[in-house]
């Protein structure tokens, strides 16, 4: 399948990490925290409790495996949607076979691994994909998981995507109302989660305020 791409003039953003916080420098010179840094506050305590429960060494191994797999699958998705030939390794073959038919429902791609920022929200980040899914313009996020997840497990994903939607509209004047999570799951069929931006953007704004208080800004 040949995917169509719609070009926009996106500004270059320099990305740095300071004290464990990912920051993006905007054309105006302002440094904004990453969207995932903000949404990470939601699970910060739960992750810390999990690390204490399983031990630092085991937690690091599990996190490293999950991160590596997520990066590989993201790269496969990006290359496939860029009309490049992809060859998944044996570790990812089953996951890839499962999500490929879902990727084939994407077209008219406006952003793919694209850096965006919002002066309104004072955040920035790199969005996986903004494109039409079954003909409807959507913010699309690609995830991997070792287990089946439910709507209530992924509130941070919805908030993350709602912020990307706002940032994209600021840069292009194109509103995006639909959020979509495409999740490849070990030993299961992939999952699709649909949501609306307006259901989550106010929750993200509150989390942004929580971040300011946490950082004493």
Cα-Cα-Cα-Cα dihedral sign, residues 131, 36, 217, 116: negative
**Which runs of E-coded beta strand occur in 73-190?**
106-118, 123-133, 136-145, 178-185
For residue 63, pLDDT over 60 is answered with: no
The label of the residue with tokens 């939607």 reads 165
Residue 58 in any domain: the answer is yes
Residue 62 pLDDT greater than 60, yes or no = no
The answer as to whether 112 is a domain residue is: yes
Q: 138 lies in which domain range?
A: 14-214
In b/e form, how buried is each residue of 42-71, taking b as 16+ CB within 10 angstroms? Answer: beeeeeeeeeeeeeeeebeeeeeeeeebee
| Tens-place pLDDT, residues 186-212 | 889 999 999 999 999 999 999 999 998
Tokens 């003909």 correspond to: 135
The answer to whether residue 4 scores a pLDDT higher than 70 is yes
- pLDDT tier, 59 (very low <50, low <70, confident <90, very high otherwise): very low
* CA angle centred on 48, ends 58 and 213, rounded to 5°: 150
In a domain, 100, yes or no: yes
Q: Looking at the predicted structure, is the pLDDT value of residue 51 above 60?
A: no
Average pLDDT value for residue range 21-49: 82
Domain contains 110: yes
Digit-coded pLDDT (tens) for 150-180: 999 999 999 999 999 999 999 999 999 999 9
pLDDT tens across 74-126, in order?
Answer: 899 999 999 999 988 877 888 899 999 999 999 999 999 999 999 999 999 99
Q: Are strands 31-33 and 21-25 parallel, antiparallel or unpaired?
A: antiparallel
DSSP H stretches of helix in 82-134: 93-103
Q: Is residue 3 part of a domain?
A: no
Residue 51 lies in a domain: yes
- The pTM (predicted TM-score) of the whole model is 0.90
Segment 133-148, tens digit of pLDDT? 999 999 999 999 988 9
Judge whether 55 lies within some domain: yes
Whether 117 maps to a domain, the answer reads: yes
Number of domains making up the chain: 1
Element spanning 32, H or E = strand 31-33
Q: What CATH number does residue 191 fall under?
A: 3.90.320
């Amino acid at each position: 399948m040949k995917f169509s791409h719609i070009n926009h003039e996106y500004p270059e953003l320099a990305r740095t990490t300071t004290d464990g916080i990912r920051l993006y420098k905007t054309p105006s010179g302002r440094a904004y925290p990453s969207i995932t840094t903000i949404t990470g506050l939601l699970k910060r305590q739960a992750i810390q409790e999990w690390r204490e429960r399983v031990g630092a060494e085991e937690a690091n191994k599990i996190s490293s495996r999950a991160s590596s797999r997520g990066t590989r699958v993201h790269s496969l998705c990006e290359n496939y949607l860029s009309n490049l030939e992809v060859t998944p390794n044996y570790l990812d073959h089953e996951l890839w076979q499962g999500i490929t038919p879902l990727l084939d429902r994407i077209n008219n791609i406006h952003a793919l691994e694209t850096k965006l920022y919002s002066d309104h929200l004072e955040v920035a980040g790199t969005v996986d994909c903004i494109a039409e899914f079954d003909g409807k313009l959507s913010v699309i996020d690609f995830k991997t998981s070792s287990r089946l997840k439910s709507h209530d497990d992924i509130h941070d994903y919805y908030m993350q995507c709602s912020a990307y939607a706002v940032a994209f509209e600021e840069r292009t004047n194109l509103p995006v109302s639909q959020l979509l999570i495409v999740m490849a799951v070990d030993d299961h069929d992939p999952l699709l989660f649909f949501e609306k931006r307006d259901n989550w953007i106010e929750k993200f704004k509150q989390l942004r305020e929580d971040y300011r208080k946490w950082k004493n800004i």
